[in-house]
Amino acid sequence: MKNSIIIFLILLLSLSLKAQDTVQLNVLQCHEMALRNSRELQHSENAVQQAKLTRKAVLTNFFPQIEGSATGIYTKDYNLIHAPSGDIDLLIRGAYMCGFQLTQPIYVGGKIRNGYRLTKIGIEAAEEQQRMQRAQIIVDVENAYWTYVATLEKVSLLEEYKNMLETLREQVENSVDVGMATDYDLMQLKAAYSNILYQMKRTQSGVALCRMALSRMIGIDYDSVYIAPDNTINIAEMPSNISSDISERPEVKLMNLQLKANKLQVKMTVADYLPTLGLGLGYIWFGNIKLKGDFLFDQIGLLPINPPVSYHLDKEFKYDAPVVMLSLKVPITKWWEGSYNIKKAKLEVENSRLDKERNEELLQLEVRQAIFKLEEGYQLIEASKLALDAATEQLRMANNRYEVSLTPLSDFLDAQLKWQQAKSDYIEAQTQYLIYQIDYKRVTGALQE
């Protein structure tokens, strides 16, 4: 009795742990978890922040730049005058010069203004890259989620079919014992049962792989938590307003931004060869520059001085003053080089336009393919539903006829197998349509989260 209680408690604890380790998620919850877990999305968010910081950095170029400087010199004395009448030395030991300067560009060919516009394009491009990354994550999650749901449904279907065969096998074995069935009937059942076990093993392996892929996307440890998806499959009516417009697609907006950026690059290239005008304001200090020496004057011209006059020089130089500078630079010979670079930049604009036209054609083709798959997927749902209804009715009739011995076991098993296949096709058609639906939203730029 004591051992039975211990075994019961162990079983109860294991069931409790199993329940705690199971989490049921719908597809929208998987979206949110995948978006939070995606390293690629975090990378694109960093790119957006980098673009915004670049814009703030370029904004500072509109304002005056202030610089300060200080220089100290210590070297040996320099003899300026060496003559029989005396020596004069220049002392710059400990001389200094310092100051500050304010520089304001007045005209640089529009380079600062156009550079600031480029940073705005950079932010928009980074945001479109992020939107494209989010859409791709959602599509990948939907694909993994509904594939997981489909494989789980197929496992349940095969489990149901296996249970039916086990029940039927017991009935046939009893019938063989009383001579109401043959050993051939039993062999047919064993072959069908073995085939179902094989299919279940393959499908269960598919479930594990799908759960592994979904776990990685949403950031759940595959070994620690069992994901139980919401198996509810809701198929709405086929939308009547199917559009092939791609203007909201991130790829199209990125191409437009690239073309706009290349046009601004032409202006930036032109600015490299235009005159520039700048204003500088500052203030400087320098000092501790000395002249020292002794000099003897014994004549003025040809007239002698008697007695000679000696002179001792000891003077320190200090100075401070404001400084105003206006700088104008006009490139002259560089225009030859500039004309080639400007033509090169304009050709880059033309290349961007050609690439945009070519890629838009490819995107339109992708949209048409997505619409075709969407329409075909919906038609497959309707066709598989009709096939399932027919297989269900055929199975019902075969079951009734088999129970009254009006049809052989092989016909009943064949009807059961056709029903199982029709049910599997119906599940696959439904989940595949949901995958086509989310991909259609992606290729038209309508996928929002």
Contact between residue 67 and residue 100 where contact means Cβ atoms under 8 Å apart: yes
**How high is the pLDDT of residue 315?**
83
Contact between residue 284 and residue 98 where contact means Cβ atoms under 8 Å apart: yes
**How high is the pLDDT of residue 127?**
95
Q: pLDDT-derived band of residue 137, with 50, 70 and 90 as boundaries?
A: very high
Q: Which residues in 330-363 belong to E strands, given as ranges?
A: none
Contact between residue 353 and residue 346 where contact means Cβ atoms under 8 Å apart: no
pLDDT of 438 above 80: yes
Map out the domains of the chain with their CATH numbers: 23-63+108-275+330-443 (1.20.1600.10)
Q: Is the whole model's pTM more than 0.85, yes or no?
A: no
**How high is the pLDDT of residue 5?**
41
pLDDT of 289 above 90: no
Q: What digits encode the pLDDT tens for the residues 316-359?
A: 888 889 999 999 998 888 888 889 999 999 999 999 999 999 99
Query: pLDDT over 70 for what percent of the chain?
Result: 90
**How high is the pLDDT of residue 299?**
66
**How high is the pLDDT of residue 449?**
56
| Residue 87 CB contacts under 8 Å (≥ 6 apart), including other chains | 79, 81, 293, 294, 295
Q: Judge residue 248's burial from the number of C-beta atoms within 10 Å of its C-beta, 0-12 exposed, 13-18 middle, 19 or more buried.
A: middle
Q: Which of residues 23 and 400 earns the better pLDDT score?
A: 400
The DSSP result for 87-137, as a single string, is EEEEE-TTEEEEEEEEEEEEESTTHHHHHHHHHHHHHHHHHHHHHHHHHHH
CA–CA gap between residue 115 and residue 92 (Å, rounded): 46
* Six-digit token string for 265: 């690059």
| Residue 127 CB contacts under 8 Å (≥ 6 apart), including other chains | 48
* Six-digit token string for 291: 């002249």
> What's the N-to-C CA distance of the chain in angstroms?
58
Smallest CA-to-CA distance from 408 within 189, 197, 194, 248 is with: 189
CA–CA gap between residue 155 and residue 202 (Å, rounded): 10
CA–CA gap between residue 406 and residue 418 (Å, rounded): 19
Q: What digits encode the pLDDT tens for the residues 77-108?
A: 777 776 666 677 788 888 889 999 999 999 98
CA–CA gap between residue 52 and residue 120 (Å, rounded): 8
Residue 441 phi, psi (nearest 5):
-65, -35
Q: pLDDT-derived band of residue 144, with 50, 70 and 90 as boundaries?
A: very high
Radius of gyration of the chain (CA): 44
CA–CA gap between residue 422 and residue 392 (Å, rounded): 9
Q: What digits encode the pLDDT tens for the residues 188-246?
A: 888 888 888 998 899 999 999 999 999 999 988 877 767 777 767 777 777 777 888 89
Which residue's entry shows tokens 């095969």? 158
**How high is the pLDDT of residue 239?**
72
CA–CA gap between residue 303 and residue 311 (Å, rounded): 18
